[in-house]
Amino acid sequence: MNLFRLFGDLSHLASILILLHKIQTTRSCRGISFKTQALYVTVFVARYLDLFYDWVSLYNFSMKVFFISSSIYILYLMKVRFRPTHDPSIDTFRAEYLVGPCVVLALIFNYKFTFPEVLWSFSIFLESVAILPQLFMLQRTGEAETITTHYLAALGAYRALYIPNWIYRYFSEGVVDPIAVIAGLVQTALYVDFFYVYFTKVLQGQKFELPA
C-alpha cells in the first residue's frame, strides 16, 4: 500500500458517498446514468469474486464488500425508490457495445485462461469504459448539477491516482500489471474533457455547462 493507492481508494469511496448523498438529499437520480451504475455492479461482482477464496487484507476485504453492496444499493435507489426521477430516454448509450468487446478482450488478454482470471480481466476492461454512458448523457444534456460533477471528479481522481501508484510500485516492488495499467490509462484519458470543464467552470463557481 502506498499513499497514491490509499488516496485513490479513498477518492473512489468518496465518489460513491457523494453519489448516495446526491440521490438522498435531492431525492432524485436525475442526471445519473443507470447504465453506468449497472456496469459498475457488473465490474465489482466480476472482479471481487476472489473475496471468497483469496484473502489480501481486512482493508481490501472491507472495500470490496462496500463497493459491491453500495453499487447494488444505488441500482435499487434508481430502479425502485426514486424510479420516477430516472429518465431512460436520455440514457441511450448502448451498453452492449461495451460489454461485448470487453468479453472478447478478456478472452484474449488475461494472465491465465481460467474462469476467475478471465472474469478479472473482463472487469478491468469493462471498468475502463463503464463511465461512457454517463459522459455521453452529460454530453447530450449539455449540463449537470454541481454535485454530480463532484461525483465524477472524485471518480476521475481515483483513476488518476492509480497511475502514480503503478509508477511507485514499479520502482519499489518491481511489479507491473500491464492489463490494469493499459486499461487504467484509457480510463483516465476518458476524463480529460470532463476535468477541463470541471476545473475551468465548476471550481470557479460556475455551473457545469458545455458549449452548445
Among residues 21, 27, 94, 112, the one that binds other proteins under rule CB under 8 A: 112
- Output the smallest distance, CB 118 to other proteins, in A: 12
Q: Is 162 in the site for other proteins (CB under 8 A)?
A: yes
Answer for the pair 212, 142: CB distance below 8 angstroms, yes or no. Answer: yes
Euclidean distance between CA atoms 108 and 165, whole angstroms: 26
Among residues 9, 98, 122, 152, the one that binds other proteins under rule CB under 8 A: 9
Euclidean distance between CA atoms 64 and 69, whole angstroms: 9
Task: State the maximum Cα–Cα separation within the chain, in Å, rounded to a whole number.
Answer: 51
Q: Which is nearer to other proteins, 178 or 205 (CB)?
A: 178
Q: What is the DSSP string of 119-166?
A: HHHHHHHHHHHTTHHHHHHHHHH-EE-HHHHHHHHHHHHHHHHHHHHH
Euclidean distance between CA atoms 43 and 192, whole angstroms: 22
- The interface region with other proteins, picked from 100-108, 112-120, 136-144, 196-204 by CB under 8 A, is 112-120
Q: Is 12 in the site for other proteins (CB under 8 A)?
A: yes
Q: What is the DSSP string of 15-53?
A: HHHHHHHHHHHHT--TT--HHHHHHHHHHHHHHGGGGGT
Answer for the pair 137, 94: CB distance below 8 angstroms, yes or no. Answer: no
| Binding pattern for the stretch 62-91 against other proteins, x by CB under 8 A and - elsewhere | -xx--x------------------------
- Output the smallest distance, CB 204 to other proteins, in A: 32
| Binding pattern for the stretch 174-193 against other proteins, x by CB under 8 A and - elsewhere | -xxxx-x-------------
- The interface region with other proteins, picked from 86-94, 97-105, 144-152, 172-180 by CB under 8 A, is 172-180
Euclidean distance between CA atoms 176 and 4, whole angstroms: 16
Q: Which is nearer to other proteins, 31 or 184 (CB)?
A: 184
Binding site residues, other proteins, CB under 8 A: 5, 9, 12, 47, 50, 54, 56-57, 60, 63-64, 67, 111-112, 114, 116-117, 120, 162, 165, 175-178, 180
